[in-house]
Chain A
Amino acid sequence: MTALFPDAAAIVSALGSFLDPDNTFSRTECARLDVEEEFPAAICRDLDRLGLPAQYVPVAQGGRLHDHAALVHVVRRISRRDLTVAVAHAKTFLGAACVWVTGSAGQRARLAGDVLAGVPVAWGLTEPDHGSDLVATGFAAERAPGGYRLTGVKWPINNATRGGLMCVLARTGETAERGPRALSLFLLDKRTLPPGTIECLPKTPTHGIRGADISGLRLSGAPAGPDALVGEPGTGLDTVLRALQLTRVMCTGLSLGAADQALQLIHEYVRERFLYQRLLIEMPHVRRTLGECCARLLLAEAVSMFASRSAHTLTGELAVTSALVKAFVPAVVDELISVGAEVLGARAFLTTVYADGAFAKLERDHRIVAIFDGNMAVNRNAVVNHLPALARYGDGAEFAAAVRHAATLDRPLPPIGELSLRSRTGTSVLRTLPSAVAELRGPARELGDALVTVAERLRTEAGRVRPSVRDVPAEAFELVERYEWAFAAAAAVHVAVANRDRRSTEPWWCDDRWLRGVLTLALDRLRAPLPAGAEQVFDELAGTLTIAERPSILPAADMEGE
């Protein structure tokens, strides 16, 4: 099959081999930059030259973005080499997203010009005293002749210093006003602000992504003309909440790339390392662990591809879909990395011995993905508030076509529809699960039936949760975690039934192999009884790794070209 994402393949192949130290974007260079805590400036310039910024700009504005799965995938391909580089570069999409969602035609055109020219854009939401609590934003925008004057501190912010532009959330209402209508968004051009009104705060040392520009911005009466205001005054929070739906989906690409990298390092190690006169990969428990790691990656990939495609066909559900995948995908990949670290033993811990210490670096770098752009608690909280609605809806037959469209990986997508702050229809993926499972046969059907039973029980439990002003009880978070697993597994079923006829000769697809692997993993996690011998699928997956290398549901052409 030809590549689904040819732009990403072209960019990656133009970068040259990651293992050749003479290339700018090489493992050796990334390790050096990390040790020196140096920004990957030359690598980012290369990515600019190769057209990566166009992937962040909608087609209507002269860019190449028309499919959010392609955006996830290109971020994945860069992250597979180095997460610091991906976080540093892809941040521009986060900074620009609010303008794409609600900006005026003039703002969109100007921003597109800057992004396409390689100007980094930052997103200024977080403030020193109230990280995730956006309604508490203190950064002030006061009315002034000719527009506004902005005063306050944004910190810690990715690309705060290097960004030429920053999209900031500011308080246009009264200081005492708690309501969401007190907040507005501004797109600031840092390059044109008068001296004395702007100061970049120094880079903050970080545990992972050490080379990234995690710094801050202090403004003191900086002028902003009316053309800097993004959307109407008072619409800042709803625009941010809509844009976050797109950026949270994009973040799954960071985790997928990290998982690709981790699995590659683990696999290389276990097939070369001798212990007690045997190769590690020949030991049953190592093979089992390796297969489980493949299943984690395949599940993360299936749900990320589905979610990003569903942004186009089930846009109204993205408020809940994006929160589910932003909580789930980084968590399951963190799990893959920590299980992998056990297999690697000391090699995961030593920073120079194996693959330039890439595994230890990866482990540190990936921690940030679960934290930024809404941490796990923020996302799970968003799902908790949806739970009564998720429990209430019927079979969702009217959305079966939209689900199938999203699941059919090679089917072109319509432009993204209107983003809503709340899903009126719950999650159609779970509502239409029984009809998709009915298309499965054999061992996959048995696993699918078990998933339907679990999903129905979850729906009943969801109906008992009561969102309220009180802190969310730990049980509700635990329920959301199980809901994430069920959602991911259901998305995998839809993807499998929609594509398997055309893919059944490929190693990961043959005999529903990848689907049986991810369902076994998910059902085990959901404490559902497994059919006898189901776990043997993990040995099959480990065996497939030796013939097909990269575990992926995508065509091999999308994963080649390193």
Chain B
Amino acid sequence: MNALRTYVTERVAYYLERDAATIETDMSLPDHGLDSVLALALCGDIEDHLGVRLDPTAVWDYPTIDALLTYLSGAVAEAKP
């Protein structure tokens, strides 16, 4: 889970063009500039990284890193038989 947290935080930092150290995991991503379209791109990255299919709008529904990680742990558990 820590590895996934690091990955997602780094991707968010990449899109927001900020240092990963400045990204808080409970901050609202849209409020910090991650618009609806970049959110789709982020979701695609995570999908490729984990090798699971996610709802493309997952980042719309879970707009903080913490909420997203909770959702992802569920999605990964579901994907495993």
Contact A470 B17 (CB under 8 A): yes
Q: Which residues of B contact A424 (CB under 8 A)?
A: 44, 47, 53
> In the bound complex, do residue A179 and residue B56 qualify as a contact, i.e. CB atoms below 8 Å apart?
no
Q: Encode contact with A along B34-72: 1 for CB under 8 Å, 0 otherwise.
A: 111111110110011000010011001101000000000
Kindly provide the distance from the CB of B74 to the nearest chain A CB, expressed in whole angstroms: 19
Chain A CB within 8 A of B78 CB: no
* Cβ < 8 Å to A, chain B residues 1-45: 14-17, 28, 30-31, 33-41, 43-44
The smallest beta-carbon distance between A197 and chain B, in angstroms, is 30
In the complex, the chain A residue whose C-beta lies closest to that of B45 is A388
Return B29 CB to nearest CB of chain A, in Å: 9
**Complex Cα distance A422/B40, Å?**
7
Measured between beta carbons, the chain B residues less than 8 angstroms from A470 are: 17
Q: Which residue of A lies closest to B34 (CB)?
A: A469
| Interface residues on chain A, size class | 20 to 34
Known contacts A178-B31, A385-B40, A385-B41; is-contact A421 B57 (Cβ 8 Å): yes
Q: Which residues of B have CB within 8 Å of A422?
A: 40-41, 43-44, 56
Q: Contact check, A469 vs B33: say whether CB atoms are below 8 A apart.
A: yes
A181 at the interface (CB under 8 A from B): yes
Bound state CA distance, A161 and B35, in angstroms? 33
Cross-interface CB contact of A469 among B38, B47, B53, B57, cutoff 8 Å = B38
Query: Which residues in B have their C-beta under 8 angstroms from that of A237?
Result: 36, 60
The CA-CA distance from A389 to B47 in the complex, in Å, is 11
Question: Could you tell me if A420 and B34 are in contact, using CB atoms closer than 8 angstroms?
Answer: no
Chain B contacts for A466, CB-based, 8 A: 14
Q: Which of A135, A386, A392, A469 makes the CB contact (< 8 A) with B15?
A: A469
Encoded as 1 (CB less than 8 Å from any B CB) or 0, chain A from 439 to 480 comes to 000000000000000000000000000111110000000000
Contact (Cβ within 8 A) B43 A181: no
Q: How far is the CB of B7 from chain A (nearest CB, A)?
A: 15
Within the assembled complex, what's the spacing in Å between the Cα atoms of A272 and B16? 60
Q: Smallest CB-CB separation from B33: which chain A residue?
A: A469
Cβ of A389 and Cβ of B44 under 8 Å apart? Answer: yes
Judged by a CB distance under 8 angstroms, whether A381 is at the interface is yes
A238 interface hit (Cβ, 8 Å) = yes
B27 shortest CB reach to chain A, Å: 13
List of A residues within 8 angstroms of B30 by Cβ:
178-180
Given contacts A421-B57, A470-B17, A382 and B37 within 8 Å (CB-CB): yes
* Partner of A179 from B38, B53, B63 at Cβ < 8 Å: B63
Q: Are A181 and B61 in contact (CB under 8 A)?
A: yes
User: Could you tell me the distance between the alpha carbons of A120 and B35 in the complex, rounded to whole angstroms?
Assistant: 34
Asked if B16 and A469 make an inter-chain contact with CB atoms under 8 angstroms apart, the answer reads: yes
Question: Contact at B38–A420, with CB atoms within 8 Å?
Answer: no
B60–A179 contact, CB under 8 A?
yes
A180 touches B60 (CB 8 A): yes
Judging by beta carbons under 8 Å apart, are B35 and A135 in contact? yes
Q: Are B44 and A381 in contact (CB under 8 A)?
A: no
- Max chain B C-beta neighbours (<10 A), residue from A179, A466, A468, A469: A179
Checking B36, B38, B47 against A468 with a beta-carbon cut-off of 8 angstroms, the contacting residue is: B38
Contact partner of B17 (CB less than 8 A), chosen from A382, A389, A392, A469, is A469
B39 to chain A, nearest CB (A): 8
Instruction: Please give me the residue from chain A that is nearest to B32 by CB atom.
Output: A469
Indicate if the CB atoms of B56 and A420 lie closer than 8 Å. yes
A238 touching B57 in the complex, CB below 8 Å, given contacts A178-B30, A424-B47, A469-B17: yes
Q: Shortest beta-carbon distance, A418 to chain B, in Å?
A: 11
Instruction: List A residues 174-200 near B (Cβ within 8 Å).
Output: 178-181
Contact A467 B15 (CB under 8 A): yes
Looking across the interface, which residue of chain B has its beta carbon closest to that of A176? B31
Please state if A421 and B15 are interface contacts (CB–CB under 8 Å). no
Q: Provide the A357-386 mask, 1 if CB < 8 A to any CB of B, else 0.
A: 000000000000000000000000110011
Interface string of A143-182 (1 = CB under 8 A from B): 0000000000000000000000000000000000011110
Cα-based distance from A389 to B57 in the complex (angstroms): 17
Give chain B residues whose Cβ lies under 8 Å from the Cβ of A469.
15-17, 33-35, 38
Which A residues lie within 8 Å of B44 (CB)? 389, 422, 424
Please name 23 pairs of A and B residues whose Cβ atoms are closer than 8 Å in the assembled complex, sorted by A. Answer: A178-B30, A178-B31, A179-B28, A179-B30, A180-B39, A181-B60, A238-B60, A385-B40, A389-B44, A392-B48, A420-B56, A422-B40, A422-B43, A422-B44, A424-B44, A424-B47, A468-B15, A468-B38, A469-B15, A469-B17, A469-B33, A469-B34, A469-B38
Given contacts A424-B47, A468-B38, A470-B17, 16 further A-B contacts (CB under 8 A): A135-B35, A178-B31, A179-B28, A180-B39, A180-B57, A180-B60, A181-B61, A238-B60, A385-B40, A421-B56, A422-B44, A467-B15, A467-B41, A468-B15, A469-B34, A469-B35
Which A residues are within 8 Å of any B CB, using their own CB? 135, 178-181, 237-238, 381-382, 385-386, 388-389, 392, 420-422, 424, 466-470
Going nearest first, the 7 A-B pairs with the smallest beta carbon separation are A469-B33, A180-B36, A421-B56, A179-B30, A178-B30, A422-B56, A180-B60
